[in-house]
Structures are given as C-alpha cells and as structure tokens.
Structure 1
Amino acid sequence: MNKKVITTCLAACSLIAGLSLIPVSGIMAQDNGRPELTLNGGSKGPIPFKHQLHQTIVKDCAVCHKDFGKKPGTLDEAKKIGALRPQQVMTKTCIACHKAKKRIGEKSGPTSCSGCHS
C-alpha cells in the first residue's frame, strides 16, 4: 500500500472512532440519577422518593442539590459532618415547595412528616 492510501485509511478510522464517542458523551452528560430512591428518614423511617418525578416538575437540579451533592450518600454525609441539620432540607426545600404549590392551587406533595415517612 502506498503512503496516501494508509493516511486516508487512518484518517477515516479516526473519524469513525471519534464519531462513535459522541452518543456516549451525550448520555454521560445527561445522567439524572435513579428514577426512584429511598432517603434515610432517621427515627421516623425511610422516605421513598420519586426522583424522576421531581426532576420533571422542578427542572433545575440546583433547587434541591444546592444543599448537598448529587452522588448517593451525600445528603447523609452532609448531616453527619454538620453541614446540614436533620430535617433542614425537608422543611426548607421539600415541604416549603409543596406548601407553595398547594397555596396556588397546583397539585403538590405531602406537607406533613407522616406524608413522606413510611
């Protein structure tokens, strides 16, 4: 094979390999976590949390994740190190949002402790 054919083949292979990575990087950038998860609710019991439903309604991850990271366990870790007080996120973010939606007549989530804890 001559040098021009080899160069053309290498360029084509590089282009195909590069294009094949685009969908993967797009999926990685849109990782929205699990659709549902269970939060540690302390002595009142676990909290089943419909993560995907909240993402659809709230649309901005920072609304909730301003107080703790997105990796699993970061909410508990923030409480453990004292960066968050127990119930801080639930009362100042979750319940406040649910009550605000209820006040304006929109469908909302629970507004009491027993509404979330199972």
Structure 2
Amino acid sequence: MKKIIITMLGLVAFAGTACAADIIDLPASMGKVAFPHKQHQEALKDCKACHQNGPGKIAELNKDWAHKTCKGCHAEMKKGPTSCKECHKK
C-alpha cells in the first residue's frame, strides 16, 4: 500500500511539471507581461521558490508581489530582467 501511495504522489508531481504552460500571460492589471514558466521551472528546479503554498496559481500574485519576488530573484541571481521595459512589453 505504501508503494502505491508513493507512486501516485510521484505521478501527480510529474504530471504537474509535464502539463505546465510554456508561457503564461499575466493579468492585464499587472501590465503586459508574458511569463516564461517552463524556462523558470528548468532554471530553478524548486517550485516553492514561487509557489510557497504548493502547486497551482499563486494566490498573492500582484504587482507588488511580482516586483519583490521576481525582480528580487533576478537581482540576487544576477540573471533575468530587472528593468520595466524588459518585462512589460507594449
């Protein structure tokens, strides 16, 4: 029984990764931002870096959260856009 449960959990985790969108268009209220989700998954390898409450939509996703979390991570890693025009395309 334990093996079945562990296998099922592994399949669920893999399915979430396999089904993740390549590009996510963020809400218009955040400005026109196309977020390369798959690219971030491959680079970070840790979903909890953004999804603290587990897989799925980020409940607190808004401009302030994105600027703090996304820009902060990009600045810390010295990789990725940090200026307005690099993220917000017209």
Pair in the same fold by TM > 0.5:
yes
Alignment partner, residue 87 of structure 2: 116
Matched positions, count: 80
Answering whether residue 41 of structure 2 is matched by residue 55 of structure 1, we say yes
Which protein shows a greater Rg?
A: 1
Query: Please, which runs of 5 or more residues in structure 2 have no aligned partner?
Result: 1-6
Q: Distance between the aligned counterparts of 1:117 and 1:56, measured in 2? A: 22
Name which of structure 1's ranges 52-61 and 108-117 shifts more when overlaid on structure 2. Answer: 108-117
CA contact (8 A) 1:41 1:117 kept: no
Alignment partner, residue 72 of structure 2: 96
TM score, norm. by length of structure 2:
0.68
CA contact (8 A) 1:45 1:117 kept: yes
Runs (4 or more) in structure 1 with deviation over 4 Å come to: 24-27
- The percent of aligned pairs where both chains have the same amino acid is 35
TM score, norm. by length of structure 1:
0.54
Candidates 6, 13, 22, aligned match of 1:35: 22
Q: For the structure 1 residues 52 and 85, does the alpha-carbon distance in structure 2 shift closer, same or farther, using more than 3 Å as the test?
A: closer
CA contact (8 A) 2:48 2:54 kept: no
